[in-house]
Every structure is written in structure tokens, then in C-alpha cells.
Structure 1
């Protein structure tokens, strides 16, 4: 199976109202899809996210010419080369080639990976809590209300972008209004030092529905994470930007994390992503994927979670949830996979078993203009 052509779909959407986290406000959403077609007409889709001008130039001028005429079955050697040029582009190519391999074998991606342990996977509603208005807290509560009505059992909220007092006022309001209905993860986006992170413990000690505190410190501060894990009464999570399974080892060997959050867009290649999930199980900790930036990569994370052995032997709650972006983002609808009561049912069919909305891919195609 030789690669005949690669089509690209750089996507851009300007947000009606900017929203954000501790890293700042997002004024737009972008994404980048590729479609690889073999000489026999087999098609596979991939996705990545990065600064579109650089990504698109590199894809068109270097990566696509390299791929044309190569064998799909050489996907791992191909990824090893492409990751030296652009690691996130390598992830997109890995997805597309994985789907083609599955289709050519008459299998779903899950079957290619060895089969599923479950036919449904939980997802949690992920929010960007901040807006640049004085009413940001009330706006947040309104957004949460919608997800609660849609029966999400777990939500993730942002802290670290405002003062600790403001953030704690916000989370107290959330607890007051929704605390008996949902579990809550809090994501700091690496914005705190040790002293600031520990100021949350007095609240955590009185709340039973906090499922984890995500990335309170810069992720390389392994000793700090180990200490926070000892001091806090809630699980500590992190690792969304880590690119290989091996890079998690310092955190794991130091017992610095309770929950790993790898992202299939950031780990270099789907096979390496699967290795990361297995690493978590080998160390006996949980793994809840970060999948905020792309609907296709989120789909792969859901499928991988369906194929992952449970973390325990209890009949329920033995698989960790996958992140589900509930903010304004039309690209979420490109892959027709939607939750019901906070769960995704795994579709049947070859490859990913879904047809992407190519009309949306054309409609939101980036026109090449500067989007600052």
C-alpha cells in the first residue's frame, strides 16, 4: 500500500467572545487535518494543532513530498523521520496511517489494538473558566448549568489565572450550586508555586467531590509535585505536554503523580501514546487523557481508553474519563461522535468507523491571512 496523495485542511475560527485559562485568553480556535490516500484508494485521517503558517508550510514543502510513494506499512519508520521535523505533524500522520492499516485489514482501530474491555467510555466536560468581563464568574456558572443538564458527571474548571481569593470564590459558588451533582477537577495550567498550591488544602479537606488538582506547578518540578502529593488530600494530575512515555518516568519513579494526563496530539505518534497508557498501568496509577484541542485526537483517546484494561477489579468506575471540550468550538462537530449522559458509545466499523464532515472542513478552511 503506497501513499498516493496527502490533502491538507488548515482550519480557523474566530471566537465570538474570547475565553481562557491561566495561560491567557483564546481569541480563535485552529486545527489542522490531513487526509492520506493510498494508490488503491484507501483513506485515513489525521489531526494536529500548531501555528498554522509554520505548520502548513512544513507540511506542504517537506512532509508531503517525503510521504508520497512510501509504504503505509512502514508507519513507525516514517514517524521516526517526521518527528525530527515536526513532532505534532508526526502525530497526525500516525493517526492517518493507523486508520489505513486497520481498514486494509478489515478491522476497526480498536480491533487493531487488540479489542475493547468496554463498549462505553466516560467523558468529562472541560471548561475555559475565564472571560474578560466583570461577570466571568456568573458566566461560568451558566455554562456549567448546561453541562449539568446534559448529565455530565464530572467537570473540569480552570484556576490560577486570577487571584487565589477570586478563584476560591468562584469554586465555592460552583460547589454551592452544583456540588452534589458533579465531581470537579481543577486545572492550574502550571501557574502556582508550592506555597500557592497548598493554600487550597483548607478547602479540599472539606470537599469530597474534587477528583484531582491538575498541574499546580511547572511539570519539571518533580520534587515539588512529590511534596504536594503528600500534603494535599486530593489526587495530583499532570503531563499533557509530555511527548514520550519515557519522559513520564521521573514523575512516576518519584511518586509525584496520582493521575497521568497524556495527550495524543502531543505524544509523538499513536503507538507511542498507547505505550504511555500502558506505562501508567505498569506503575499502578490512573490515566485520564487530555484532549482539549482536537475532535479526531479525542476520538483516538476514547478508543484507546476502551481498549485499556481497568485500573481495578470493582464493577464500576474502573476506567478513567476522557476530556471533552464544551466551549464554543465548531471543530468539535467535524467528527460525529457525541456523548450521552457523560458517556461515549464506541461505534462499529472499519478504521475509526466514522465519516468526517468534509463540508465543515471546507467551510472553516483558513484563508492564509495573519490571524493575530
Structure 2
């Protein structure tokens, strides 16, 4: 057999394996990215006294390689997990995501935002590329654009937030989320009043109390009790606020359910809850009317998709948490586009320092929010985006 025929035969075998799903994982890597510029720091409302850094470029991402020449990408995991992941995953089918999610949940310790979520996303990226479909179509969706809401980072002042709201509205945004846990209820309510006055009734306002950051009984900043949560919720619903997020401690299901039953507005939460069993309890006890699972906490999209089914069965809306700012956000975008009961997508966007484009700077073909406040879905197969090759640090 001559060389050209051998190449044709190898190509044909590769296509046959790809179509049949017989694609094996050959390697898993963490790829580092070059930082172009440090933009600045913001003190996040949920962690007073500390700073959140915003850069252009930098960081890392996960790659999963296969014998079909298809490579999937996902958010970076901590380097200490790479050996365990490779020991389990190499040589196995890239399509067996359910098996891999279950096994890796067991073999690899959970670490929020640095765990195995990136591996799970990379496997879905491979499946989408093998099928020649963007993930939202693979998952049965047809929305070609979704509505992101601008999620603030800082607590800020009523006046500054009103000005920010005007600016966002002029840029096309349809919705924003305010962080509200000032020292007094009056300052919280005045912030919403100022913002509502600035943007009118056709702009959606969400509010985040950030009371569920800790799994224990203490966290920095102002801590709410039931009385403050209830009184705040009553005021907010009169101002047309779309939801009040995490107004009580993470596992205070009884208090949250009571609050949810007493007010008409949506009570939302779940971003810090890692277990699927917790979401079952939330639904059974009617803890939240809108669920906010986070793929970077729940170890990936395989688990997150199940929360979508659970929410639909219980007649609840859901809007995933922000997904870490880059690849995870795009993965969430695909899910939101495939769900009929997901009205928005969270997009961390507190310009100028916390502009969403800073996190998206690692992409060669990043999507942008348009003048009408929509973000188009990537049209390429899988996750649909590529990492900027100029940023990749070569081995």
C-alpha cells in the first residue's frame, strides 16, 4: 500500500471512529496564558477588605486531547489534580461523560473554581466538535441569543450605582444586579430607589444580599437575620425588583422557605451549594423560587444539566451563577439557550475595571453584548470559541 492510500485509510478510520463515538482520551493538560496587562482591583461586596484582580490575558485553561485529533477546552483546574485525572481518564472514551463525572467526583477532591469542572466542560466540547454542533443545539436548544444581566462586583453607593445603571442602559443592557448589604436597610433601599429612578420601569433590577458565602455561621460584612431579610424583601418587591438572592445563610432552608412563602417576589440562590441532593431538598421544601447552580462548584456541566431538569419538574426558573468569568460563562450561555425556564444569564460586568471583556480577552473570537442587550451564541461546534494563540505560553 502506498503512502497516499495509507493516509486515506487512516483518515477514513478516524472519521468512522468519530461518528461512532469511539474517541479515546490521550492526554490532559493545563495550559498557561500570558498576561498582557493588569487592569486593576475591586473590593468585592462578598469579601470586604480583600481585592479581586482583573487582567487582560493571563491565567490558564484545561485541554483534553483525543486520538481523533479533537481537543476540548475548559476552565483551568489546580495542577495538583492533573495526575489523578490523567490516571483515570486517559484511554477511556471521551463520550462517557456520565461515567467520568461520577468517577472523578469520587477520585478527585472538590475544589470550587479550581476543580474538575474544566475537564467535564472539555469533554462536552469534544462531543460537540465530533458532532459538528454547538453545545446548545446538541442539548436541544434553538435560541441564537440570550439576555445577560450585568452583575456588579462592588457594594458601592446609591449615587454611583444609579450612574452605572444609566450607563449600562445606554450600552443596551436590559438588566443589572446590585449588591445590597450596607450597614442599614435605608441605604440598601435608597440604592434601589436611585437606580429605579435612573432607568425607569422597563429595566430589570436584581438584588444580591450575599448571605450564603460561608458554610458555617460567620462571614465578613453585614449579616442579615430573618427580620432584615423579610423587611428588605417587602420593600424591594414594591420597587419591582426581579429577585432577592441569598438573603439568609446557605443551609438555613427552613428560614429561606418561610421567607419564600411570605413574599411575592422571587427568592433566589444555590451558587455555593455543591451537592445535587441539596437542590432536591431546595425543591422539595420550596426554599427558592429561582435556582442558581454553579458549574464551577458542582464539578461541571454534566451535573448542572440535571439541576435544569429538576427545576423544570418543580416549576422553578433557574439562572446559573457566573461560571468563573470566561470559558465557564460561555458553557453556561449554551445551557441557558437550551433551557426554556432560564430567563437570563449572569455576566460579571462592573466597568471599567470589572468589564466582562477583560475576562473574555483570552478568546480569539469572544462574543459581545449588542446594542439591544443580547449576547449571540457561538456558532462553532462544541463550546464554539478558541483561545487566542498569541497568549498561549509554549512548553
- Mapped to 2, the partners of 1:201 and 1:126 lie a distance apart of 19
Structure 1 position 32, deviation (Å) = 4.5
Stretch moving more, 236-245 or 20-29: 20-29
Matched, 1:3 2:11: no
- Mapped to 2, the partners of 1:67 and 1:325 lie a distance apart of 32
Structure 1 position 201, deviation (Å) = 4.0
In the TM superposition, what whole-angstrom CA distance separates every residue of 1:67-114 from its partner, at most 9, and x where no partner exists?
33333133332332322323352211111011112212333222332x
Rg larger in structure: 2
In the TM superposition, what whole-angstrom CA distance separates every residue of 1:113-157 from its partner, at most 9, and x where no partner exists?
2x22422211111101325xxxx4444334333311111111101
In the TM superposition, what whole-angstrom CA distance separates every residue of 1:192-251 from its partner, at most 9, and x where no partner exists?
22011122145235312x000000001211111111112223210111122243321212
Equivalent residue number for residue 149 of structure 2? 124
- Mapped to 2, the partners of 1:358 and 1:294 lie a distance apart of 19
Q: 2:228 aligns with which of 196, 215, 218?
A: 196
In the TM superposition, what whole-angstrom CA distance separates every residue of 1:167-203 from its partner, at most 9, and x where no partner exists?
2332222222224341110001114220111221452
CA 1:292–1:349 in structure 2 vs 1: closer, same or farther (change >3 Å)? closer
Equivalent residue number for residue 388 of structure 2? 357
Equivalent residue number for residue 315 of structure 1? none
Stretch moving more, 222-231 or 198-207: 198-207
Structure 1 position 291, deviation (Å) = 1.3
Matched, 1:68 2:90: yes
Q: Is the 8 A contact 1:31 1:294 kept in 2?
A: no
Q: 1:241 aligns with which of 272, 297, 320?
A: 272
* Count of aligned pairs between the two proteins: 344
SS at match of 1:236: strand
- Mapped to 1, the partners of 2:64 and 2:169 lie a distance apart of 39
Matched, 1:44 2:72: yes
Q: Is the 8 A contact 2:144 2:376 kept in 1?
A: yes
Q: 1:77 aligns with which of 99, 105, 116?
A: 99
Equivalent residue number for residue 165 of structure 1? 186
Structure 1 position 350, deviation (Å) = 1.7
What stretches of structure 1 move > 6 A for 4+ residues in a row? Answer: none
In the TM superposition, what whole-angstrom CA distance separates every residue of 1:317-354 from its partner, at most 9, and x where no partner exists?
xx410101113252233341222222122232321222
What's the TM-score once normalised by structure 1's chain length? Answer: 0.83
Q: 2:287 aligns with which of 256, 273, 281?
A: 256
CA 1:10–1:137 in structure 2 vs 1: closer, same or farther (change >3 Å)? farther
CA 1:349–1:90 in structure 2 vs 1: closer, same or farther (change >3 Å)? same
CA 1:185–1:331 in structure 2 vs 1: closer, same or farther (change >3 Å)? same
Alignment of 1:176-215 (within 5 A): 176-190=197-211, 191-208=223-240, 210-215=241-246
Alignment of 1:1-372 (within 5 A): 1-9=23-31, 16-24=40-48, 25-28=50-53, 32-48=60-76, 55-59=78-82, 61-84=83-106, 85-87=108-110, 88=112, 89-113=115-139, 115-130=140-155, 136-160=157-181, 162-190=183-211, 191-208=223-240, 210-291=241-322, 293-308=324-339, 310-311=340-341, 319-327=342-350, 328=354, 330-335=358-363, 336-340=366-370, 341-360=372-391, 362=393
Task: Provide structure 1 residue ranges, at least 5 long, that are not aligned to the other structure.
Answer: 50-54, 312-318, 364-372
Task: Provide structure 2 residue ranges, at least 5 long, that are not aligned to the other structure.
Answer: 1-22, 212-222
CA 1:206–1:101 in structure 2 vs 1: closer, same or farther (change >3 Å)? closer
- Mapped to 1, the partners of 2:281 and 2:268 lie a distance apart of 14
SS at match of 1:37: strand
Equivalent residue number for residue 369 of structure 1? none
Structure 1 position 42, deviation (Å) = 0.7
- Mapped to 1, the partners of 2:109 and 2:373 lie a distance apart of 34
- Mapped to 2, the partners of 1:72 and 1:164 lie a distance apart of 51
Q: Is the 8 A contact 2:132 2:381 kept in 1?
A: yes
State the superposition RMSD in angstroms.
2.6
Stretch moving more, 253-262 or 77-86: 77-86
- Mapped to 2, the partners of 1:140 and 1:32 lie a distance apart of 32
CA 1:31–1:160 in structure 2 vs 1: closer, same or farther (change >3 Å)? farther
Q: Is the 8 A contact 1:189 1:215 kept in 2?
A: yes
SS at match of 1:323: strand
